[in-house]
């Protein structure tokens, strides 16, 4: 089941549908990441570079690729530590297995 990080819905899914995969919608994640990026980063060119790097992180097909992609993303964003903190604390650390392709539950779910 896919949702937009609605914690109440995520809890209901885990209680009433325990065998179901509780996935997060990449469209909504990207929308939130982009909004935070625009709030904290003052250059349109930097937004594009950052969002491209973020897209690579999400699309990683293996855990090794993910680690490399994340390091590259963090390096590109090093001038904006609050943004890196937001992405890591809001999305990557608590939820990466629910939206990054490296964890494999997505190949069957999204084609």
Q: What is the pLDDT of residues 60-84, one digit of tens each?
A: 989 899 999 999 999 999 999 999 9
pLDDT in tens, 90-106: 999 999 988 888 776 55
pTM of the model: 0.82
3-state SS, 17-76, equals CCCCCCEECHHHHHHHHHHHHHHHCCCHHHHHHHHHHHHHHHHCCCHHHHHHHHHHHHHH
């Amino acid at each position: 089941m896919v949702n937009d990080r609605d914690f109440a819905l995520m809890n209901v899914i885990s209680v009433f549908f325990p065998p179901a995969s509780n996935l997060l919608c990449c469209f909504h994640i990207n929308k939130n990441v982009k909004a935070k990026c625009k709030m904290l980063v003052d250059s349109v060119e930097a937004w594009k570079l950052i969002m491209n790097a973020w897209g690579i992180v999400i699309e990683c097909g293996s855990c090794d690729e993910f680690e490399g992609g994340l390091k590259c993303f963090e390096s590109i964003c090093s001038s904006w530590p609050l943004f890196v903190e937001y992405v890591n604390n809001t999305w990557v650390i608590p939820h990466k297995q629910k939206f990054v392709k490296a964890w494999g539950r997505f190949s069957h779910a999204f084609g």
